Structure 1
Amino acid sequence: MREDGIPRERFILLETLHASMGMPRSVRVDGIVYIDPIAYYQMPYARKPGIARSLGKLNWHFREAGKNLVLFAPGRIGTSSPELGVPTAFSDISSFGAICEIAESRAGYQPELSYGSHIFQDLVEADILYVAVFEDKRRIHFHPEKLMEMENGILEIVPDADSSIIAWYDLAGSHARLIHDMHAEHLLLSL
């Protein structure tokens, strides 16, 4: 058993130090949406808003479900410029309990933190945890390859989604857990 109570045999998908903002929590995770930063970067500019539409449809699907959902998206969420991140509105992400902005230097994404932006204020008011997933091995450990071992169920919920870019991982019935210690600024997402 680790000091934080996570059994050693559980896989740590994400662990961050000093890269999250939000109220403390320890919750079961029912599902993860992952938008591949490289694939998103390489897709034609005109198709990028389609990813935001798929995200909105998924959000609408889970709106009243009471599920604990985590979103991993490249760059800055809610930007009006698709080349900087996914151009969503708050209504497209309001059902998520945690929003993780991914930096990916191979794709040119180094998110400017959303702190102070209008969407960040919406996240704070809705008690949605914010996480910046920078490429800083000293403070952040992120293993998205573990998600690729799981089945992408996006087409079951959003039949017209581009499943090579956006993925839905149903974790219901698993032991996936999100723990956030606000005072230590420590976040742990285990599968």
Structure 2
Amino acid sequence: LLQCRPLEVFHDSGAIQIPENLQEKACLLETEDASMGLSREEKLDWIVFVHPQRYYQLPYAEKTRIAQAVSSFNWECRGKRLHMMLMVPGRIGTSSPELGVPTTFADISAFDAICEIADSRAGYNPELSYGSHIFQDLVEAQILYMAVFENSHTRVWQPELLQEYPNQAVRYLGEGDTAPKYERIIGIYDVSKADCRLYHDMKTGAAVVAFLQKTS
């Protein structure tokens, strides 16, 4: 038997005016036709970033430690009206850690946006899911899906900008002396004071994440 559930449809709120004078040096990410979701402009409080190359090099049995940190952060933030973005290599929600970060949808459901990253320098070039395996969950939760491709769809991609902001990952990596090791792989960055803006225009397919104000 094939079991189906109805797909809930939401109407877009209209075009979003993405500022034209954004400086590239303050732009974390800019994509074209590589996103899925309703138009929005949001001020982000947190960005969770899993480093593609370091995650790939992590032993297979230890990759779940990264998924657990994502899950712990997600559940702590639920219901607190925080705006958060998750950026991970490969496929999010996969059951195979070598293909991406193995989480359930419930463990990432508090995020406003989820971004999958392709990075051939990590030693492999994962086939991004483009949200297909969790499409209905994303739609119903109104979570924006984005992808960083290694082609013309990605106009700007500067993850090194995140290093300027406090990394709170160690709080979610559990107890023990190994937490600093994993802190190099996952960053849970507090960008609440940086006026970090997420823009997505569903009509044009443009998506931008930029820091409008640097922390002092």
TM over 0.5: yes
Partner of 1:171: 191
Gaps of 5+ in 2: 1-16, 212-216
Can you give the 5+ residue segments of structure 1 that lack an aligned partner in the other structure?
Answer: none
**Is 120-129 or 181-190 further displaced after alignment?**
120-129
Q: Which position in structure 2 is the counterpart of 1:109?
A: 125
How is 1:100-179 mapped onto 2 (pairs within 5 angstroms)? Answer: 100-107=115-122, 108-117=124-133, 119-137=134-152, 139-160=154-175, 161=179, 162-179=182-199
* Mapping for residues 43-82 of structure 1, pairs under 5 Å: 43-82=58-97
Structure 1 equivalent of residue 208 of structure 2: 188
- After TM superposition, give the deviation of residue 125 of structure 1 in Å: 1.1
- Paired position in structure 2 for 1:14: 29
Q: Report the residue type matching 2:79 in the other structure.
A: E
CA drift of 1:60 comes to 0.7
Residues 93 and 105 of structure 2 are in contact (CA less than 8 Å); yes or no, is this contact kept in structure 1? Answer: yes
Work out the CA distance in 1 between the residues paired with 2:28 and 2:130.
22
Number of residue pairs aligned between Structure 1 and Structure 2: 188
Return the match for 1:5 from 19, 24, 40: 19
Give 2:204's aligned amino acid: A
Shift of 1:30: 0.6
Q: Which deviations, in whole Å up to 9, do the C-alpha atoms of 1:97-136 show, x marking residues without a partner?
A: 000000000121333333431x222111100000011112
Identity over the aligned pairs, expressed in percent? 45
**1: CA distance, partners of 2:76 / 2:173:** 9
After TM superposition, give the deviation of residue 173 of structure 1 in Å.
2.5
Please say if residues 28 and 175 of structure 1, whose CA atoms lie closer than 8 Å, have aligned partners that are also in contact.
Answer: yes
Q: Would the aligned equivalents of 1:15 and 1:140 in 2 still touch at CA under 8 Å? A: yes
- The CA deviation string for residues 45-82 of structure 1, in whole angstroms up to 9 with x for no partner, is 00111111111000011011111100000000001111
Q: How has the CA–CA distance of structure 1 residues 185 and 143 changed in structure 2, closer, same or farther, with 3 Å as cutoff?
A: same
TM-score (norm 1): 0.91
Q: Give the Cα separation in 1 of the matches to 2:50 and 2:131.
A: 21
